[in-house]
Structure 1
Amino acid sequence: MKIAFATCVQLGLSCIEEIYRIEGKIDLLITLEDEKDINKSGRIYLDEIADKKNISLLKINNINDTEVIEALKKNEIDWMFIIGWSQIAKKKLLETPKIGCIGMHPTLLPVGRGRAAIPWAILKGLKQTGVTMFKLDEGVDTGDIIGQGIIDIDKNITATELYKKVDEMHIELLSKYWETIMNNEVVLIKQDESKATEWPGRKPEDGELFNSMTMDEADKLVRAVTHPYPGAFYKDGEKVIKIWSAKFDKDKGKIKLRYGYMTPIDYEIEG
């Protein structure tokens, strides 16, 4: 079985490292050109592991480029993993590997299709989330499910902590289903469309904190967009305070909120 793996984020690199830890093999690595999406959350580069494991590395602008199709055909790829990749794979690409393409999404699909799954799980106050391994189709996170893993969410969890748990679950699912994938014994389960929800993308400017927010709203936002995300921020006149962590008190603090106060702990002042 010949494998290609496309990623540009830590979640994907962790899976690649796990494949080699369990004595698997990858025949082709695909990643973005070095100068593309340099500010993407969790952005990594594959040069080191490609050199270390002697894997052919292709750097591209778009996953649907002709050079990707040609490389998959040339290497006679059976399965292609596409992990942590923002661009949507189109029909021609999906049909090029002999068996198909596999993705992972950090929610329990069909809940939370779309973007910014880790921040949204915190912002929505979920008690559980997870990771879904699935066979990619032309939709956004709509493909048939291969397997899922559940992650419990503590009420004070940060994006940093949840990202680590999601990373660990990617590794766990990869290890659990690797032999099944290699033996072409994957059992696919249709998603229940009646339970489907879609979460929209988020931009850095969505991290702005306002005095009209409650302590709970501000707390969730700070925790949801801390590292590896762009961070929450508060505009104080000409200054912008980038806040990575904060404490909250109903009686006193540095920044007045609707029913209390916020005091930045880990922060930077810009401007």
Structure 2
Amino acid sequence: MKVVFIGTVEFSKKALLKLLELKVNVVGVITKAKSDFNADFVSLEEVCEEKEIPYKLVRDINHPNNIAWIQERSPDVLFCFGWSSLLKADILSLAPMGVVGYHPALIPQNKGRHPIIWALVLGLDKTGSTFFFMDEGADTGDILNQKALEIAPDDDAGTLYSKLVNLALKQIEEFVPQLQAGEYPRIPQEEEGNSWRKRGRKDGEIDWRMSSENIRNLVRGLTRPYVGAHFMYKGGEYKVWKCETVATAVEKNIEPGKVIEKKDGSLLVKTGDTAIRLTEFDLTEDIEIGEYLI
């Protein structure tokens, strides 16, 4: 089974290495030299050079030159794990077995953009890892392999990303032999499901009128490897990487955003319902108790 591999994030690299470990015949790799929007960007150049795999750096994967490059390698299947733009019909129809894509959610629910971030920000207790045959829609093709994953209360973007990667690598071990044998499932997505929208900068801004739990979810959803949730203070934008809800009783007549305690480098800030403690943040100015983070 000849494979052309497409990818440009951390998971892409680990998946490619897993395929090589399984002795899959990777005849070519499509990747990028840089990315302006993937926080977990990784180019696959180094792996390809080390393993002597032909590769191509692209900007528009659907450009005729890139389609021709893939076609020259006569792949049986394409693997597209970690690519932010849709593949058009010319690429989707290149290989007899099609294109296997990946989405870290339980499709048909939660298709679309930023699935790890939205799952945490929305406070979900379960997500999933899905490999599917790509079509011209966004995450709408037949499912090849899908596993559910529980989200722990203390999971954040980094830990959930790692758990999903580890689960996905085990799934690759399951379905690669099926593809090689020509006996593999194709499960249609019978429900329409929902599709998450692209996240904007405003989605990452902490509104202190939110509940403490909603703020905690926002922070853990956007923490590393992503861009971080942020708040405004004296016209500046500051990131919050970690925080925790507290059981401290807070007077109801205190306005949201007011700093009510400083302790060991942390700040206790009034929220819409109680208060939240910021334990890792980028603000270096000396804030006094009674000031407002607005």
**TM-score, normalisation: structure 1:** 0.94
- Following superposition, the deviation at residue 39 of structure 1 comes to 4.2
Q: 2:215 maps to what in 1? A: 218
Q: 1:77 maps to what in 2? A: 75
Of residues 113, 116, 120, the one that matches 2:111 is 113
Q: 2:275 maps to what in 1? A: 261
| 8 Å Cα contact 1:72-1:97 kept in structure 2 | no
- Paired residues in the alignment total 268
Change (3 A) 1:270 1:28: farther
Q: Matches of 1:186 and 1:176 in 2, distance apart?
A: 10
Q: 1:56 maps to what in 2? A: 54
Aligned ranges for residues 21-60 of structure 1 at < 5 Å? 21-32=21-32, 34-35=33-34, 37-60=35-58
Counterpart amino acid of residue 20 in structure 2 = Y
Q: 1:244 maps to what in 2? A: 241
Task: Name the stretch that deviates more: 87-96 or 256-265.
Answer: 256-265
Q: 1:166 maps to what in 2? A: 164
- Following superposition, the deviation at residue 83 of structure 1 comes to 1.0
Residues 54-100 of structure 1 deviation map (CA, whole Å, 9 limit, x = unaligned): 10010001121112210121111110111111101111110112321
Counterpart amino acid of residue 207 in structure 1 = G
Mark the runs of 5 or more structure 1 residues left unpaired by the alignment.
none
Counterpart amino acid of residue 94 in structure 2 = T
- Following superposition, the deviation at residue 239 of structure 1 comes to 3.0
Question: Which structure's CA Rg is the greater one?
Answer: 2
Where 2:282 maps in the other structure, the secondary structure is: strand
- Following superposition, the deviation at residue 270 of structure 1 comes to 7.7
Q: 2:120 maps to what in 1? A: 122
Q: 2:88 maps to what in 1? A: 90
**TM-score, normalisation: structure 2:** 0.87
Mark the runs of 5 or more structure 2 residues left unpaired by the alignment.
251-259, 262-266, 286-294
Residues 141-163 of structure 1 deviation map (CA, whole Å, 9 limit, x = unaligned): 00001110111111221111101
Of residues 117, 138, 144, the one that matches 1:140 is 138
Where 1:29 maps in the other structure, the secondary structure is: strand
Q: Matches of 1:72 and 1:102 in 2, distance apart?
A: 15
| 8 Å Cα contact 2:106-2:129 kept in structure 1 | yes
Residues 86-121 of structure 1 deviation map (CA, whole Å, 9 limit, x = unaligned): 101111110112321000100011010101100111
Q: Matches of 1:69 and 1:153 in 2, distance apart?
A: 39
Where 1:240 maps in the other structure, the secondary structure is: strand
If asked which structure has higher relative contact order (CA below 8 Å, sep 6+), I would say 1
| 8 Å Cα contact 1:127-1:154 kept in structure 2 | yes
| 8 Å Cα contact 1:204-1:230 kept in structure 2 | no
Task: Name the stretch that deviates more: 213-222 or 199-208.
Answer: 199-208
- Following superposition, the deviation at residue 128 of structure 1 comes to 1.2
Q: Matches of 2:238 and 2:85 in 1, distance apart?
A: 32
Residue 17 of structure 1 pairs with residue 14 of structure 2: no
Q: Matches of 1:262 and 1:45 in 2, distance apart?
A: 38
What is the Cα-based RMSD across aligned positions, in Å? 1.6
Counterpart amino acid of residue 217 in structure 2 = K
Q: Matches of 1:47 and 1:156 in 2, distance apart?
A: 35
- Following superposition, the deviation at residue 7 of structure 1 comes to 0.3
Q: 1:156 maps to what in 2? A: 154
Q: Matches of 1:150 and 1:190 in 2, distance apart?
A: 17
Q: Matches of 2:23 and 2:132 in 1, distance apart?
A: 22
| 8 Å Cα contact 1:239-1:270 kept in structure 2 | no
